[in-house]
Homo-oligomer: A and B are copies of this chain.
């Protein structure tokens, strides 16, 4: 499998700009100038047309031609022929619900697992690459019909990972939220990906991308910071 899972899309430099070198390397393993199928389902407050345009313009710099599945008459067939599948961020629950009802959850999982298509996702698009969406930060605005997701990696991702906590706020910190998850699921590791980082998986090689590294939670163990670079295990 060829996967690039990013914490976030936006930065001061521009939309996806910080990740373009990583996306170029990721795309080079199939056909760097080819077609890429885009899944806009996580978009709720922006239209899917506008989302397609935003991503198409950002990735045209790499020679990728982005088409959104929402304009195709047979999205499942398009996935079954795709070389690059790109799943954008937004609301994870909306995304997973649409993936499930359209049949794309199964189709994308099979195609990417077969090695015939590469997978790029950011934020919600990285969450759905995990076994479940149980470590999303998003609000459950719609019932996705179950929390099981693509399961492309044997680890849960927490995007936009941060230790920051507004002063006076009595809600849970991110670490407290993730400890609730690892209490219920001590068998399942979680990677907290700070802004500007990502997880790269290519065959048996795995790496943390981005200078901020990643925060790993696993059962009752003390969480650890993983530095940018190759990972022996997830």
Complex partner residue of A8 from B11, B170, B183, CB under 8 angstroms: B170
A2 at the interface (CB under 8 A from B): no
Residues of chain A from 137 to 194 with CB closer than 8 A to chain B in the complex: 137-143, 146-147, 159-160, 162, 164-172, 176-181, 183-185
Residues of chain A from 88 to 106 with CB closer than 8 A to chain B in the complex: 90-91, 93-94
Across-interface contacts of A141 in B (CB, < 8 A)? 134-135, 177, 180-181, 184-185
A118 at the interface (CB under 8 A from B): no
A193 to B143, alpha carbons, bound, how many Å?
23
In the complex, the answer to whether B143 meets A139 with C-beta atoms within 8 Å is no
In the complex, the answer to whether A184 meets B139 with C-beta atoms within 8 Å is no
Complex partner residue of A171 from B137, B170, B177, CB under 8 angstroms: B137
In the complex, the answer to whether A169 meets B178 with C-beta atoms within 8 Å is no
Number of copies of this kind of chain in the complex? 2
Query: Hey, what's the 0/1 contact readout for A182-222 against B, CB within 8 Å counting as 1?
Result: 01110000000001000000000000000000000000000
A179 to B44, alpha carbons, bound, how many Å?
9
In the complex, the answer to whether A142 meets B184 with C-beta atoms within 8 Å is yes
Across-interface contacts of A184 in B (CB, < 8 A)? 44, 94, 141-142
In the complex, the answer to whether A170 meets B11 with C-beta atoms within 8 Å is yes
- Kindly provide the distance from the CB of A176 to the nearest chain B CB, expressed in whole angstroms: 7
In the complex, the answer to whether A170 meets B10 with C-beta atoms within 8 Å is yes
A45 at the interface (CB under 8 A from B): yes
A55 at the interface (CB under 8 A from B): no
In the complex, the answer to whether B135 meets A136 with C-beta atoms within 8 Å is no
A19 at the interface (CB under 8 A from B): no
Across-interface contacts of A168 in B (CB, < 8 A)? 195
Q: Which residue of B lies closest to A43 (CB)?
A: B180
A124 to B212, alpha carbons, bound, how many Å?
33
Across-interface contacts of A120 in B (CB, < 8 A)? none
7 closest residue pairs by CB, A with B: A164-B166, A160-B171, A139-B177, A44-B180, A8-B170, A141-B181, A143-B147
| Chain A residues at the B interface, C-beta cutoff of 8 Å | 7-11, 44-45, 90-91, 93-94, 123, 133-143, 146-147, 159-160, 162, 164-172, 176-181, 183-185, 195
> Can you list 5 residue pairs at the A/B interface with Cβ under 8 Å?
A7-B170, A45-B176, A138-B177, A139-B181, A160-B171
